[in-house]
Amino acid sequence: MTRRGDRQVFDEISGLVTEAVNPRTANLDLKSIPEILALINDEDQTVPGAVRREIDAIARAVELVVGRLARGGRLFYIGAGTSGRLGVLDAAECPPTFGTDPKLVQGLIAGGHEALWRAVEGAEDEAEAAPAALVERGVGPADVVVGVAASRRTPFVLAGLRHARQVGAGTVLVAMNAAHSPGAGGGELEVDVAICPVVGPEVIMGSTRMKAGTAQKLILNLISTASMICLGKVYGNLMVDLRATSRKLAERAKRLVMMTVGVDYDGAAQLLEQAGGSVKTAIVIGRLGVTREEAETRLQAAQGWVRRALGEDRR
């Protein structure tokens, strides 16, 4: 097991913004409950602005992801602790929302499945585990690996990104310290895109599940959602590639068809039945009055884009 010396780790984290003391919350334990909540909320409101300042970098990450996924690649998030859980969460939400294969977007967390519901904090130091997990999944030049690490020094994440780069995969770092922070372990890390919003010290020193975690959630939402939009998973702002895997989603599918085709509830149900449950196919059938076979052919020719299949694309 690879572990850094205690003094080396101490030196690495001492200069990190995410490990600094927040002067605005120095007397937090003397505050009333409403005052505590207001202070936390005040700090939370600084996060979206920090993320907004990284939009150009996030856009480059999306372009990288879309390019690889469009050619048959996959997207992997790797992280430890809160960062890893957020990656797994984002990956898990893509199939029901965008109708993706579960293998298209995957989340890898240090410590494995157990770490999803119980802290396995020492797992973040097991650098060799990340390359092994990526090798097991056959990560290669077609894929993109997004490393999520609030501190920018997590050994598990850095080792995974280095392996990804060695095998030709696209690489993205999401960290809450500047890309070249003094003390960030592992020396200079070469990645295709670095997304590093500096959200400042946490309300409670070092508790990166708070502002840092919020920023990470926002960024992963942006990466996956914008990528799926660019891959034709959305019509307007409607999730027309959803999988009706629950009663709620089945009813949402009917509502989407009602909204886009202009039919009533029963008409939407009939179109979905005719389309084999596919919202996209039902929309094309209903709007163009074609057969299921022709609707599917149109969608295939349009690479899954409903707007193009309907002849509405003017770009």
Last residue in a domain, options 181, 196, 230 = 230
C-alpha span between 298 and 284 (Å, rounded): 8
Please tell me the pTM assigned to this model. 0.88
Strand partners, 249: none
CATH number at residue 170: 3.40.50.10490
CATH classification at residue 291: 1.10.8.1080
Q: Output the six-digit token pair for 223.
A: 């990466």
pLDDT at 244: 85
State whether 183 and 260 are in the same domain: no
What contacts 239, CB < 8 A, 6 or more positions away? 97, 98, 233, 256
Which helix (H) or strand (E) element contains residue 284? Answer: helix 279-288
- Specify if 236 maps to a domain: no
- Domain tally, the chain: 2
Cα distance between residue 158 and residue 171, in whole Å: 11
Q: Which two tokens stand for residue 232?
A: 């034709």
Question: Is 240 among the domain residues?
Answer: no
Is 12 among the catalytic positions? no
Q: Which of 63, 93, 251, 294 is catalytic?
A: 93
Pair (56, 180) in one structural domain: yes
Per-residue pLDDT of the chain (315 residues; tens, 9 = 90+): 444 556 666 766 666 777 788 889 999 999 999 999 999 999 999 999 999 999 999 999 999 999 999 999 999 999 999 999 999 999 999 999 999 999 999 999 998 888 888 877 677 778 889 999 999 999 999 999 999 998 888 899 999 999 999 999 999 999 998 755 444 444 457 899 999 999 998 999 988 899 999 999 999 999 999 999 999 999 999 999 988 888 999 999 999 999 999 999 999 999 999 999 999 999 999 999 999 999 999 999 999 999 999 999 755
Amino acid occupying residue 85: R
Same domain? For 223 and 261 the reply is: no
> Quick check: is 124 catalytic?
yes
206 and 126, same structural domain? yes
pLDDT at 165: 97
Show the domain range for 213. 6-230
Of the listed 124, 126, 202, 296, which one is catalytic?
124
* 288, 165: one domain: no
pLDDT value of position 6 = 67
